[in-house]
Amino acid sequence: MKKVVLFASGEGTNAEAIMRYFHGRAEVAVVAVFSNNSAAGVIGKAREAGLRTIVFGREEFNSGVTGAILGTIQPDLIVLAGFLWLLPGEMVKQFRGKIINIHPSLLPLYGGKGMYGLKVHEAVIAAGEKESGITIHFVNEHFDAGEIIMQKRCAVDAADTPASLAEKIRKLEHRYYPQVIEKLLSR
């Protein structure tokens, strides 16, 4: 069985979609959810699903404690699903090629430090873009700069607000992120 570990900082809608997608499957299992936010909605969702949850602070994260815990789990894939911190270089090296992220824009546009959630959609609309979408990519030592695995697009309509664009993007995320995870784990 292939083991997936999720990292999330917030409500966890992508994490929940991934947990649902793989629930009851013999070949892939989400085994733990890591979060840097003890009040994150994803923690409750993970516990309801019977998953191990690990909550950590910046010191544990940067000192290697979180990476050491990951080492004991030995995940086949680490999936960032709304996780907002840059991973320590040592963790990236330890799990190179086994960490993926999803970003709510067509990278390299509207990525990087501070570009998350509604901020991305506000920037897309303010720039007058006619399309946006999602980018699923491998994680490296820089924000949103790893090798792109997949991009999916959607139209940005004149009537779109950041919230309505976020809803379009969320549908793409929930549809395609679990599929990409499954494909990567089947290689």
Catalytic (active-site) positions: 103
158 token code pair = 């004149």
Task: Answer yes or no: are the C-beta atoms of 121 and 48 closer than 8 Å.
Answer: no
CB-based burial of residue 59 (10 Å sphere; 0-12 exposed, 13-18 middle, 19+ buried)?
exposed
Residues 6+ apart with CB under 8 A from 149: 100, 136, 137, 138, 180, 184
